[in-house]
Amino acid sequence: MTMSERELEQLLHQAWHLPRGPSRSAALDTVFRHADAAGLSEFAFNARMSAIEEFHNAGDPTRAFLAFSWCLAAVDRAEFPIRSGAERSLLWAFKWIVWALPQFSEIPLDRTHAVLDDMQRRYQLGGHSLHAVYQHRWLVAHHTGDAAGAEHWYEQLRTARRDSLSDCRACVPSSQVKHLASIERDEEAVAIGAPFTWGGCTEQPMWMLSELVLPYLRTGRFAEAADGYRRAYTAMRNNPHHLDNIAQQLLFCGLTGNEARGLEMIEHHLPWLDRPSTPFAELEFRTAAALVLRRLRETGHGDLAIRVSSDGITKESTVDAIWVDIVARAEALAGQFDARNANTYQSERCAARMALAPITTELALTGARSGPDPGPPDPSRPGRPADRRRWSWVPWRRRPRSAPTN
């Protein structure tokens, strides 16, 4: 059957009303197929353009690759007039694409570098700063264990001119914190990251708070790490796009004596691994899960029951049994990345991550404050107001709170 543009509009409209995830993605795919079949290239282009961001945010980079490459080719063929806004959106989308490419072990590295070169070429052609290009060159180097390359591009990133294609004010430092944390420059990481833990774009503050987990814990900022866990995890626990950040928060649980909470997270997110956003995000989650499960085994809870769901089938298993599975699968995945990267970086990193020793075992994650009085300020949390009432120009407002007389 061939659809008219009007019918396609309706179909597209319906697709956007479905929930983000498999339902909406499948419906969008259907729209593209019908538009292609009807030969409506411009409609197909616009529909795909708006879907690239959707696929990125839905944790579905494979679909983003497909839509992105289709649109890029359409722009180059120029068989219909391209809005200048669309070209710009594609330049922006390069960042999502390059972020995801190295996370698929089946995609050869030289292909990712070819996309980076294409990105740089197009940025230069448009007269844009290479800030974002450097950030993503750094990302790929960092991801593949190229320490010298990572350091080089990090310095380029630090000194390049920011422009409107740069990541948001919280995302750039998030990358920086990732870099610094991986070489254990933790104080510097906290200094750069901590001012940006209250948002910036749709990735934030979950991303920043997750990068800060290790720097916070290793510098003894336990209260910040716990607060970060609460805020970040609540905000992203339904979002498969954040699987790698969720993994960092799971790691937090394993490093702070919160194994019970960690086990709950594993039960909750394990079904996601049927269709992980990327193989690398799966690896991150599995290694963090392996740490939590190992801690449970070490503390004598290896026979604890856990519910494992996969493709809608739920089975009872034990901590011991799934630990074995998860470690084996993590090692296999890391091996695939190593084969692609032609080094042993990911295997070594993952082995070290799974073997991390707890930093504290007594960091409580209790939720709401109890009691009406906030009490004295917590000295470990500078910047936290002791007196939450508003300052004002008249003295009586500074006095202790007194009950209004009704």
Partner 1 sequence: LGYTFHVDLRGIVDLLSHHLYASPRVYVRELMQNAVDAITARRAADPQAPATIRFTPPGSTGDGTLRIDDSGIGLTLDQVHEFLATIGRSSKRDELGFARHEFLGQFGIGLLSCFLVADEIRVSTRTAGGATVEWTGYADGRYEAVEAPPERYRAETGTTVTLVPRSREERWLDESTVTELAALYGSMLPYEVTVGGTPVTSRPAPWEKVSDEPDERRWSRLAAYCQDAFGFRPFDVIDLDAPEVGVRGVAFVLPAPANPASRVAHRVYLKQMLLSEGVEGLLPEWAFFVRCVVDTSELRPTASREALYEDDLLQAARETLGERLRGWITRLGVTDPRRLGEFMQIHHLGVKALAVHDRAMLRLVYEWVPFETNVGPLTLAEFQDRYGTVRYSPSVDEFRQLAAVAAAQSLPVVNAGYVFESDLLSRLPWLDPPVAVEVIGPASLSTRLDALESTVELTLRPFLVLAQRTLDRMGVEVLVRAFEPTSLPALYLLDGDTALLNDLRAGSERDNGVWGDILGALTRGRTDRPQLVFNYRNPLIRQAIGLVDGELTGLAVEGIYVQALLLGRQPLRPVDTAALNQSFQGLLRRAMGPQQ
Asked whether the beta carbons of 287 and 350 are under 8 A apart, the reply is yes
Asked whether the beta carbons of 228 and 212 are under 8 A apart, the reply is yes
> In the numeric block, which tokens belong to residue 259?
């194994």
Q: x/- site string to partner 1, residues 212 to 241, per CB under 8 A?
A: ---------------x--xx-----xx---
Q: Given the rule CB under 8 A, which of 119-127, 170-178, 247-255, 370-378 is the region that contacts partner 1?
A: 370-378
How near is the Cβ of 147 to partner 1 at its closest, in Å? 26
Q: With binding defined as CB under 8 A, does residue 34 bind partner 1?
A: yes
Q: With binding defined as CB under 8 A, does residue 81 bind partner 1?
A: no
How many amino acids of this chain bind partner 1 (CB under 8 A)? 81
Q: Note every long-range contact of 157-160, with CB atoms under 8 Å and residues 24 or more positions apart, other chains counting.
A: 157/131, 160/129, 160/130, 160/131, 160/134
Residue among 300 and 396 whose Cβ is closer to partner 1? 396
How near is the Cβ of 66 to partner 1 at its closest, in Å? 5
Q: How far is CA 61 from the centre of its chain?
A: 12
Q: With binding defined as CB under 8 A, does residue 127 bind partner 1?
A: no
Residue among 127 and 367 whose Cβ is closer to partner 1? 367
Helix (H) or strand (E) holding 318: strand 313-318
Phi then psi dihedrals of residue 306, to 5 deg: -140, 140
Q: With binding defined as CB under 8 A, does residue 395 bind partner 1?
A: yes
4, 69, 360, 361: which one contacts partner 1 (CB under 8 A)? 69
4, 10, 37, 299: which one contacts partner 1 (CB under 8 A)? 37
Q: With binding defined as CB under 8 A, does residue 108 bind partner 1?
A: yes
309, 341, 343, 344: which one contacts partner 1 (CB under 8 A)? 309
Residue among 68 and 154 whose Cβ is closer to partner 1? 68
> In the numeric block, which tokens belong to residue 71?
């649109």
CB count within 10 Å of CB 249 equals 26
Residue among 204 and 287 whose Cβ is closer to partner 1? 204
Query: DSSP letter at 131?
Result: H
Residue among 82 and 291 whose Cβ is closer to partner 1? 82
Q: With binding defined as CB under 8 A, does residue 111 bind partner 1?
A: yes
Q: How far is CA 366 from the centre of its chain?
A: 25
Q: With binding defined as CB under 8 A, does residue 32 bind partner 1?
A: yes
Q: Is 164 helix (H, G, I), strand (E, B) or coil?
A: coil
Q: How far is CA 63 from the centre of its chain?
A: 17
Residue among 299 and 310 whose Cβ is closer to partner 1? 310
Q: Where are the beta strands (DSSP E) in 32-172?
A: none
Residue among 85 and 404 whose Cβ is closer to partner 1? 404
Instruction: Scan residues 255-294 and list those touching partner 1 (CB under 8 A).
Output: 268, 271
Helix (H) or strand (E) holding 350: helix 345-354
Is residue 148 packed enough to be buried (19+ CB in 10 Å), middle (13-18) or exposed (0-12)? exposed
Instruction: Scan residues 164-203 and list those touching partner 1 (CB under 8 A).
Output: 195, 198-199
